[in-house]
Amino acid sequence: MKLKNFVRIVKVLVFSFLCLVSFSLIAVVCIAVWPKIVLNEPVFRFAAAVLAEKTEIAVHWTSLGVEAASTGFLRQRFFVTSSNFCFSYKQSTIRGCTKKLNAGVEIDFSHLKLKLIALGPVELQSLHWSVNEGDQIISGSADISSQGLLDLAAAKVEGIKETGDDENDENRSYHRGIDLLVQANTDLPDRSKLSAKGKVNVNYKSTTGDLKLSYGLNADYELQRGKIFANLQGFAMPDRVFNRISGRATDLADGVKLIVVKNCDLDLSGQAISEKVSQHSQFRMHCPIRVSIPVPPKSRELLKIPTDVGILVKSELSNPHFPPDLDSRVSGEIVAEIVPLLTPFFRGQGSVKAQVAMIPKEPLDTWKVDSKADLQLQISSFERLVQLLKKTAWMVPAPFYTLQGKGELKASGDLSLKEGRLPFTMVTHLRSEVQAFDLEGNGSFGFLRKDDKFIPEMKANVVLSNVRLALPRLNWAAPPQLLPDARFVKVDLEKEISEADSDSDESGFKYQVAIKTAATPVRIISSFSEKDIPASLDLLLQEEPALAGKVRIGQFPVSFFRREAKMEKLTLDLKDPLGESRIDGSVRVAFADYTIHIRLGNTIDKPEVKFSSDPPLTDTQIISVLLFGKPEQLDPEQGSSVQNTRAAVADGALTLVSLYALASTPIQSVGYDSNTGVVSAKVKLGEGISLNLGRSNDLTTVGIRKRLGGYWTITTDVTRNTDGSNVASAYLEWQHRY
C-alpha cells in the first residue's frame, strides 16, 4: 500500500513536473514570440523601481513604448520609443534627460539566454546631462542620431573582472574597476565593414573620486575602396579625454597609397577658467603622419624620389566648454610641418600654420582661418635632372636640355580657406654656352568651388628676366612642317573629340598664366638675323581662349629682298585661333636710290602689305625694286611677276612666310592664281637653273603663250593660209616691250 502510494505520489510529482516544464516552455515560447507580454511599460516601471532601489540608478519617463518584430525563430527586434526619458545616479550626481529617445535592439533568445546581437538605429534628441562633483558641475548637451545598425552578433563580453580593495575599511582608499573584453562587427549603410576588438576598463578611485574609463581597441574598417587599421589607446575622465592612435590606411585614393600614423596623440582636457563651475577645453594634437606617394618605379629609381613624405601635424585649440560645445567658438593654431625631403636632385621642405577661430557648427565661410604656408622645392642641379630625364619619357627638349643651373619653387604666404588658395613663387637661374633662362614668378594654387565640385585652379605671373634661346637653323623660305596638320584625324580621336565636346563640363583644371618680359626682352638666336631678335612678351595662357596677349619684336637687322634691311617693329596681338591675331609690322629696306618701307597689318592669315618709299614710287615700282632691283625696264616675265605679286598682296594671299620666302630668295618669277589664292615662285638656284616653289594646282591656265624666262616665250598661233586652211605654228620668240 505504502509502495503503491509512493508510486502514486511519484506519478503526481512527475506529472506535475512535466506540467511545470511544459508550462515553462510554453511561457518561454510565448514570451519569445510575444515578448510584449512581459516587455511592457508596467513591467519597465516595476523594473525601474527595483533598479533604483538596488543600484541608486533612477530612471523615469513620460511615456515609453516598445514595438517588437520577429526577425527569426527566437529572435526579436525591439524599438523603444520614449519621451522625456531621464536618468540619475546617486541622487543626481550624474543625471541626464533626453526629449525623445528612439532606439532599436535585436535580441536572440536561443540557448535560453538573452543576447544582444544588434544595436541601432539610435536617436537621442536634445540630450542634456550633467555631473555634479560637489563644487563643480560638468554639463553638456547633444543630439545623437545614428541610422546605422551595429551588428553585435559576434560581440561578446569576454570577461568582467572586478578589482578593488576592501571598501568597508573607511580609513583606506579603495578603487573599483570593471574590465570588459568586447568584440563587434557591423556592416555600415555605405557597404563598408567595421570590426573592432578591444578592452574597456572602467575604474573608480575613492581617494580622488575620479571615474576613469580606459580603453584599448583594435579596429579594422574596410571601405569599398581601401582599408583602415587603427589601434586606439586612451582614457576618458571627467576632465580629460586622451587618445593615442596608431594605424595605417591603404589605397584610400589614387594619389595616396599608404598613410601611416604612429603615436598620434589627441588630448582633450578641461581646465577651470575661474573658481566657479565653468571649464574650457584644450585640444592638443601631436600627430606624425607618413604618406606614401605613388612614384613610378623607374623614376623613383632614377630620380631618387622618396616615396614617403613625413608630415607632423600639431594643434593647440581651445573651446569655452568642456566637453567642447560645437556651438561655441573654437580657436587656436594648427601646424603641419613637412619633414625635409632631400634627394640628389631636389630638396623639399615646408610647413603650414593656421590660426583658426570658428564655430564648428556654423558654415565654412564664417570660419576665420589665417594660415601661412612656407613650402620649398629646390632643384639644385638642372643639368643632373636633364641627364636623368634623358633616360625617361620626359626628356627635356632642345634647346633647353643644355641649360645648367638651379630652380626653386616656393609656396609661401597667406592661405585663404574661403578661396582655397596657396600662393607660390618660383625662380630659375639657368645658363648654357649661349643661352640663358632666368625667370621669376608668383601665383597661387587653389580650388574653385562650384556647386559640389572643387575645380583645381592655378594663377601665375611669370616674368622672364633674362632669357636667350637659340632656334634651330632653318631655311625660312621653305620652313618644315613642325606642327601636325589638324586636318588628319584618327577615327578614335574623332570620336573622343566629339564625345568630349558633348560631355564638356567645367570640372577641368583652370589656369591663368601671365608671362611677361622684364626690361630686358627675350633674345632669340636664329638664322633670320646675325643679331639676336629681341622679343617682348605680354602673354596670357589660359584654357579659354588658350592664348592672348602681345608679342613685340624689336629692331633687328635682317636680309630682306637680298638687301640689308631692318625690321623696325613687329607686334602680334594674339587671338585664338592664331591666324586671326592682328599684326602690325614695319620693315625698312634701303637701296642705293630708294628707301622702301613695308608695313604689315591686319591678321596673320590675311595680312595687309602696304608699300611706301622715299622718294615716292608707285606700288608696282616698289615691288619691281624689291624683286628685281629696278623700278622699270623689266622684261615681260619680270613685269608679270611684279603684277602677280601685287595681285597676291592685294588679295591678302601673301602670308608672312611666303612674303619672307619671296624676300629672302633670288626670285626669277612669281605666279599667282587669284581663284585659289595660290602663290608660286620660280627661284634661281644658279646660272640657268631654276626651281618652282609653291603649290601648283591642276587648274588649266589660259593663254597660248608660255614664258620661258626673260624675254623668251613659246607662242602658239593658228593662222589662216591663203588657201583657207588653218596652220598651227609654234614659235620660240624673243619679245621686248619698249
Partner 1 sequence: MYSYPPAPSSASAPKVQNTSQLCRNWNVVKSIDPPLSDVELRLVCGDTPDKALSKAWVRIPYNQAKYHLTQFLQNRAYHHPAFEVAGPADDPKITVYLGEKTVAHGVSVEGDPENEIEIERRRKIIGKPLTPALLDTLENWVVARLQVLGYACPVVKSKAIVDTGEIRLQVNKGTRKRIGTVGGESIPGLDPGILTRYFPFNIGDLYNSNLISIADSRVKTVGIVESLHIRKECRGDLVDLYQDVFSGPPRLLSFGVGINTEGLATGRTSWRNTRLGGGGSLLDVSANASKQLQSIQGNYNWYFLPYVSRIYLNPFVQFSHQNEVKFEILQATGQVGISTTVDHFPLGFVFFLGPNLSFYRTLQGQGAPDSRFLFLETRVQMKSHPFEYFANNPQAGVNLNLIIDVSDSSIYSDTSVQKYTLSGEGLWNWSNLDPPLWIWGIRGSVTTIITGDLPGPGAGLPASFYQFLGGAASIRGFGRLQLPLNSLVGGLSSAYLGMEGRLSNTLPFQLDPFLFVDVGAIGMGSLSVDTPIYWSPGIGVRWASPVGPVRLTLARGYTDGSPFGFQFYFSFGEEF
Q: Which of 113, 490, 502, 688 binds partner 1 (CB under 8 A)?
A: 490
Q: Which of 161, 172, 531, 695 binds partner 1 (CB under 8 A)?
A: 695
Closer to partner 1 by CB, 231 or 620: give it.
620
Q: Which of 356, 430, 642, 659 binds partner 1 (CB under 8 A)?
A: 642
Q: Which of 93, 402, 520, 555 binds partner 1 (CB under 8 A)?
A: 402
Compute CA distances 580 → 109, 217, 509, 512, whole Å: 83, 68, 26, 21
Q: Write down the least CB distance from residue 665 to partner 1, Å.
A: 14
DSSP string computed for 216-256:
EEEEEEE-SS-EEEEEEEEEEETTEEEEEEEEEEEEEETTE
Q: Which residues contact 628 (CB under 8 A, 6 or more apart)?
A: 634, 638, 641, 642, 667
CB 438 within 8 A of CB 467: yes
Q: Which of 250, 387, 416, 529 binds partner 1 (CB under 8 A)?
A: 387
Under the binding rule (CB under 8 A), the answer on residue 714 touching partner 1 is yes
In whole angstroms, give the CA distance from residue 269 to residue 509: 43
In whole angstroms, give the CA distance from residue 483 to residue 487: 11
Q: Write down the least CB distance from residue 623 to partner 1, Å.
A: 10
Q: Write down the least CB distance from residue 569 to partner 1, Å.
A: 23
Under the binding rule (CB under 8 A), the answer on residue 395 touching partner 1 is yes
State the first-to-last Cα distance of the chain, in angstroms, to the nearest integer: 171
Site for partner 1, residues 539 to 568, rule: CB under 8 A? none
Q: Write down the least CB distance from residue 394 to partner 1, Å.
A: 8
Under the binding rule (CB under 8 A), the answer on residue 650 touching partner 1 is yes
Q: Write down the least CB distance from residue 446 to partner 1, Å.
A: 32
Q: Write down the least CB distance from residue 492 to partner 1, Å.
A: 8
Pairing of strands 193-205, 210-222: antiparallel
Closer to partner 1 by CB, 458 or 477: give it.
477
Under the binding rule (CB under 8 A), the answer on residue 459 touching partner 1 is no
Q: In the 3-class helix/strand/coil scheme, how is 328-344 assigned residue by residue? A: CCEEEEEEEEEEEEECC
Site for partner 1, residues 163 to 222, rule: CB under 8 A? none
Q: Which of 396, 417, 541, 548 binds partner 1 (CB under 8 A)?
A: 396
For 504-657, list the strands marked E by DSSP.
510-517, 522-525, 533-542, 547-553, 556-560, 563-574, 582-590, 595-602, 607-614
Site for partner 1, residues 492 to 521, rule: CB under 8 A? 492, 494
Under the binding rule (CB under 8 A), the answer on residue 472 touching partner 1 is yes
**What dihedral angle (degrees, nearest 10) is formed by the CA atoms of 114, 117, 118, 124?**
40
Q: Which residues contact 613 (CB under 8 A, 6 or more apart)?
A: 594, 595, 596, 597, 621, 622, 625
Nearest CA to 526 out of 573, 595, 472, 564 is that of 472
Site for partner 1, residues 302 to 321, rule: CB under 8 A? none
Pairing of strands 547-553, 522-525: unpaired
Compute CA distances 165 → 175, 180, 249, whole Å: 6, 19, 43
Closer to partner 1 by CB, 233 or 402: give it.
402
φ, ψ of residue 636 in degrees (nearest 5): -55, -40
Helix (H, G, I), strand (E, B) or coil at 658: helix
φ, ψ of residue 93 in degrees (nearest 5): -60, -45
Helix (H, G, I), strand (E, B) or coil at 377: strand
In whole angstroms, give the CA distance from residue 576 to residue 586: 23
Q: Write down the least CB distance from residue 502 to partner 1, Å.
A: 18
Under the binding rule (CB under 8 A), the answer on residue 483 touching partner 1 is yes
Under the binding rule (CB under 8 A), the answer on residue 7 touching partner 1 is no
Closer to partner 1 by CB, 504 or 675: give it.
675
Site for partner 1, residues 345 to 364, rule: CB under 8 A? none
DSSP state of 585: E
Peptide bond into 484 cis (omega under 30): no
Q: Which of 111, 160, 675, 686 binds partner 1 (CB under 8 A)?
A: 675
Q: Which of 159, 209, 479, 629 binds partner 1 (CB under 8 A)?
A: 479
Site for partner 1, residues 267 to 286, rule: CB under 8 A? none
Q: Which of 470, 627, 654, 661 binds partner 1 (CB under 8 A)?
A: 470
Under the binding rule (CB under 8 A), the answer on residue 30 touching partner 1 is no
Q: Which of 514, 698, 709, 710 binds partner 1 (CB under 8 A)?
A: 698
The pattern of x and - marking residues 621 through 640 that bind partner 1 according to CB under 8 A reads -------------x-x--xx
Q: Which of 329, 678, 690, 709 binds partner 1 (CB under 8 A)?
A: 678
Closer to partner 1 by CB, 79 or 401: give it.
401
CB 549 within 8 A of CB 528: no
In whole angstroms, give the CA distance from residue 195 to residue 185: 4
Under the binding rule (CB under 8 A), the answer on residue 428 touching partner 1 is no
Under the binding rule (CB under 8 A), the answer on residue 708 touching partner 1 is yes
Under the binding rule (CB under 8 A), the answer on residue 700 touching partner 1 is yes
What are 154's three cell numbers?
559576434
Under the binding rule (CB under 8 A), the answer on residue 432 touching partner 1 is yes
Site for partner 1, residues 716 to 735, rule: CB under 8 A? 716, 721-735
Closer to partner 1 by CB, 452 or 485: give it.
485
Closer to partner 1 by CB, 281 or 641: give it.
641
Of 34-42, 111-119, 307-315, 395-403, the window that binds partner 1 (rule: CB under 8 A) is 395-403
Under the binding rule (CB under 8 A), the answer on residue 655 touching partner 1 is no
Locus of grid cell 602689305? 609
Packed helices 619-628 and 636-651: angle between N→C axes, nearest 10 degrees = 120
Q: Which of 186, 465, 526, 581 binds partner 1 (CB under 8 A)?
A: 526
Q: Write down the least CB distance from residue 707 to partner 1, Å.
A: 10
Q: Which of 81, 195, 351, 643 binds partner 1 (CB under 8 A)?
A: 643
